[in-house]
Structures are given as C-alpha cells and as structure tokens.
Structure 1
Amino acid sequence: MQLPSGFRFAGVTCGIKKSGKPDLTLVVADPGSVAAGVYTQNQVVAAPVVLSRSRTPGAIRAVVVNSGNANACTGQRGMEDAEQTTRWVAEAVGCEPSEVLVMSTGVIGHHLPMERISAGVAQASGELASDPDAFLRAADAILTTDQGRKIAARQSTLPGGETISLAGMAKGAGMIGPNMATMLGLVVTDLTLSAEDAQAALSHAADRSFNRISVEGHTSTNDTLVLLSSNRVGTAAQTKGAQTKGAQTDGDTLAAFTAALTEMCIELAKKIPADGEGATHVIEIAVRGAQTDASAAKIAKTIAESALVKTAITGGDPNWGRIVSAAGYAGEPIEPAAMALAIQGTQVYRDGAPVAFDAAAASAAIRSASEVRLELIVGRGAGEATFWTSDLTVDYVRFNSEYTT
C-alpha cells in the first residue's frame, strides 16, 4: 500500500468499547495541511459534527476519532468534551486546538469517558507512524458494528506528470442513509490544494459516492467525511489567508484529482452496504432516461429504500413490479410507456410492458451474485444516476432489535 506523504497514523484501545476492541484513532498531517468536510444533514446533530463543520474548509493538522460513543444528544457538556479533546490532541502533537477535527461514532446519548479519551490521545500520539501497519490500525479503531475494515488506496498521475497518492478509511454498517448527508470517512492525499479546492473536490465526490448509498435510509446524527491534504506534491503558487491556506490548483489538475477522488470514494462507499447488518447482497440501481441527474438520483434512492425491493432480492425473487412501482411513487417525472428494466442482466420489462423471461434462471442469477444490478430506464431524458444499497434480511431485524442505539 502506497500511502500519501506527510501523514502519521495511530489506532489504540483506550476502553471506550466494552468489547475491548480498538476505539481511538489519530491522524496527524505535516504543517501546512488543509482539510475539507461534508456532514450529516440531520437536524439532530452530534457535538463533534458541530465543531468540525465550523473548522472546514481550513488549515487542519489532525483528526481524532473515537468509536463506541457518538457524543450525540449530550448537550453543552458534549460540546465541551469535544473541544477538550481537541486541546489534548493539540498539546500532544504540537498544533493549535483550532487545527484539530473530531469524529465520534457509537451509542447515542452517553457522555464521553473523558479520562479514557485523554489516556487514548496520549497513547496514540506516542504510537504515530507513517507505515501501512499504522494506517491499518487507525482504520480498525474507527469501526463499530462493521464486520471488517473498509479501506482503499491508489496513485494517480496528473496532467502535468506528477504522481499523487490517496488513501481512505471508512466505517458503517447500519443507520446508513444518504444525505451527508452511522458513517464516517477520512481520505488523505499529498496533492497541494487550497482549502476551497479541497472542499469542491470532496463535495463532488461525496455526491456521487457516500450520498448514493443506503442500508435502511436512516440518516445518522454523526455522518462525517473529511479530506485532509498534506500539500506535499505540486508546485502551484501559494495563496494567503487561514481559510485559503494551500495552493490554487489549475483546472486540469483539479479535474483529474476530483475524478480520482470520486473513484476511490465510490470504492469505499460500496463497502458500507456490502457490510450492511445481515446483508447478503449489494444492490446496484442504475437509472437512465430521467429528466435530470438529480431526478434519476431521487428515483434510484426511492427504489433503494423500498423494503419490498430489498426483501425480494434477499429471496432471489425477480419481482419487477416492486421496482417499477417504486420508481412511480418517487415524485419525479417519468414516461411509463418508455420504461424498461433488467435485473442482473435479464430483461423483464420493456416499453411499459412485461417481457417473457425464465424466472427460475433469473432467480438463480440473483441468488448466486453478491452484487445484483438493476438497470432501469424511466424515459427518454438525459438524466442518469447510480445508487447502492443492501438487501434486507431477518438478521438485520434481529440485530437492530437487540442493539441499543
């Protein structure tokens, strides 16, 4: 794994989780770094989201993540605890508290165990390293109900010939609804960026990745995605000001970076519904022919959040009527006579009418696939969008009837 230059990582166990699993992550960037963020659109919002949202885009040196406790719905004390955490991190790594972002995930409505947080920050700061093992320990410590780590890394050659690196980690398996706006993501890169360019690239990538996934459509209080750039690669001229610290990137370079970032964010985002609590299939919903891309996205989202569609896939049932009817109540303009649908490569509906197909073979194709693709045409427009969700199983119901949130 080729990690971006200018970063150190740590993941430790400090006793937040009763399970004894790793529960605190620290990522530190070299001086001169910048960050951007996108956050939950839930009106009930956790203290770390309020704090981090107020600091991005801007000059950021460190991100601290605790898992096992969301620090959500915790009132003024929750804000004070988040701010205190940034002070401990700043003292430990040698930066200003205002240069630290906080993420939290876990059970809602409990105050953070601050003595353990303090000890965890001290331990993590002493274990910071730039090697892949440190990155993997950091990726593990942000997990909660996840079955395993969610990471991605790649290199990209820019139009000017320079090679940059990107690496990302994410968590989430339940309480997943698009709308970034319980999901966290952190992406690091060494490309020289202004804070504003970083924000533009991240917002674009999030809209086409993390905002296109769902498990059960429940938007969390804590959803956060942060892009942190160490500004180590690139020769663009520096701009001035705390909120624009970094470099103004030329258009071709920014476009190439945004494409690479979006591609990696899609890879990371798809790992979340794949790990959906109790999930047996990822469902990819590709909608074409809508009036606009936004319209297509809303139709795909509506299908993704249909319990009837999700359970049909669980059972290997090519029940095309559930999919077509969900598109019809999405509230977006469609052309019913022009609609067509293929399920895992089998055409089942065309020009607004059913098509004869081998139901047993179609069912077998669904059952045998870990990822099931639904291709829906809703009209003759240019709008298109892709959305990912998980199926809905008895195990999901069992888990969430027993898990305290």
Structure 2
Amino acid sequence: MSDLFDLLNLEAEYSAEEIALRDRVREFVDRRIRPNITDWYERAVFPTEIIPEMAELGLLGMHIKGYGCAGRSSVEYGIAMQELEAGDSGLRTFVSVQGSLAMSAIAKHGSEEQKQKFLPEMAAGRVIGCFGLTEPNAGSDPAGMETVAVRDGDGWILNGAKRWIGLGTIADIAIVWARTDEGVRGFIVPTDAEGFKAVALEPKMSMRASIQTELTFDNIRLTEADRLPGATSLRAPFECLNEARFGITFGALGAARDAFEVAAKYAGERKQFDKPLAAFQLTQQKLVNMALELNKGQLLALQIGRLKDAGKLERHMISVGKLNNCRIAIDICREARTILGGNGILLDQSIMRHANNLESVRTYEGTDEVHTLILGQHLTGENAFA
C-alpha cells in the first residue's frame, strides 16, 4: 500500500476510499503517537487523552453498523488496525478491546435496550469497556473458567476473577463471562458496583503503553437487565474473539512494516568499511526476506478481509491469519534489529518495542498452539486439544 516493502503494487488492490482511510489514520499516528510513544512506553502510561481523537476518527466500534458507529467494512477496519499498530501495539489493543471485544459483545448478543444505552456512548469514547474472559487458571481453555453467576431471585450474584484484562482500571463497564447452571453467560457489569475490583498488572516488559489488569468479583449483585440475552453458550465470547483476531491479522503487519522501514532507512545511512550497510549482500538479503514476508502477509490479510466482507469467512481462516502474521511479524522485528546492531536495542528506535509488544500479541486472542490445533483439526478432522 504505497510502502517501501510493496513489491507487487498492492496499493492497486485497495479502493480510493480505503486508501483515504489509511491516510487519515496514518496522519493521526504520525502526529499524535510517534512523537510521544517513547515517553509513554518508558513510563508505562496509556494516553487516555487521545481517546476522544480516536473516537472522532470513527475508530471505536468502526465495523459496527448503526448506534453512532462508523459502519466501516472489515478491510477498512483491518487497514486502521495496521496503521495504529505501526505506531504501537498497545494503542491498537485499546481500539480492539473497546470495539472488537466489548462493543461487539453488546452488538452481537445484547438487547436492543443495551445497544441503545451503551454503543453510542462507547463509539464516542465517553464509556470505556473491557472484556473479562481469561482467568488466573483458565487461559487457552476458557471452558475451565471458575467465575460463576448464581441466580438470586430475579437477579444474579457474581463471584470470581479474571486476569490479563485490557483497560480494566479505566473501564466504566466490564463484559464478564461466567458459568451458570444454564451454561456460560455474559453480563454487563458496572465497574463501580460494590464488590468489583481492578488492579493493574505491572511491571511489564511488553505492552507498556497499554493497560492489563486483574479483575475480582466479590458477591456482585446484578439484575437480569445486566445479562446479555443473546449469549447462550461459550460460542458467544468466541465470536467476539474472532473479531479481535481478525484485527490482529492486519495489525501485526503494521508493527513489522515499521520495523522494516526503520531498518531499511538505517541501512542506507549507516556506513561501515566505507560504504552503507545497504550495499552489503547480506544486508540486502535480510531486507529482501523481510519484504517478501510482508508482501505475503499483506496478501493473506487482504484475502481474509475480502472473504469476511463477502460473508464467506470460515473460522479456521482467522487462525491462518493470526498465526502466520504474528509469527512473521516477530521474525521481521528480530531480523530488522540485527541491521541496527547495538543501536537497535535503544528505545528511541522502535524495533525492540515492537518486538516486545508482539510477544504479547502472539499470545493473546489464542496462542500459536491453539491456532495450530484449530488448523490441525480442520486439516485432519481430529480434535487434538485434549
């Protein structure tokens, strides 16, 4: 898409509207994120002051139609996630948690009253949501969740804990998944409810300009109106996770692209043995290999996006995108760092920050192992999870 790595004129595969969206988000990243991300990352601060600007760009719940949301296509959503992650994975994660997880849960499984109440405010960034699925003892196996909701008259009592929950300490509402006598159910939990507690998980070596938390629920009383009526099984949270996984398929390439561009620029400027690093065969081989993987990853993301917009996307295809593009993104960052030598570990260069962040991106929304087994089951028909 009009980038240094584009060896195949990939830009021609995008519409004028898609390119215009890319340019608007890229301008925002260049203006608001790049000049400040080193400071935010070093101080481990998530910049809440940019939330209204993200909302103004239509980035929050941008793939949801109606209710004050932008109603953009899947490909447009992916493009935006790629540009944001070129700035920093942690800031792309904010948009993903707010839109693909919390807002999608309400849009897909909420009542009309819940949609009217929450989605416009969340799209405007005035209400922040988090998504409570992963637990201290249940990560890759959400069916083993220990959080429970018990009926109490015409309401519910919620007890349990969630871990590695993005935005928990700044959220106004939490989408919480719990076991009940009727199966897994989802609830919209006000974070100011008595018995709700959110604690930031720190210090971290990855995703430092983002917020990850542990949530605890101590006899929180909820009403039936707090339950997501359309969420009647564990399939419901997985539908939301697939939205987030789709965004990662595009997003991880943004981090990789930025690392590649930094390395290519450095190789052209840094001289050793009286010539730039870019003139050495081994450096050119590194750049070529990185560019090839970026092109393949971009084509993969675009194909998945077009299939999603056409209503033809199958579950295993998202695993192809998430597994492959996270894997190549980390490899590209590691290779790009070698071109910078020792200078590559300094925070004023983006490469190590991207690499550290991608270690988290590779893990959340399904580890390599989980997506490998999803694909293995698709290829063989055999369930190897247990």
TM-score between the two structures when normalised by the length of structure 2: 0.24
Higher helix share: 2
Pick the structure with more strand per residue: 1
TM-score normalised by structure 1 residue count: 0.23
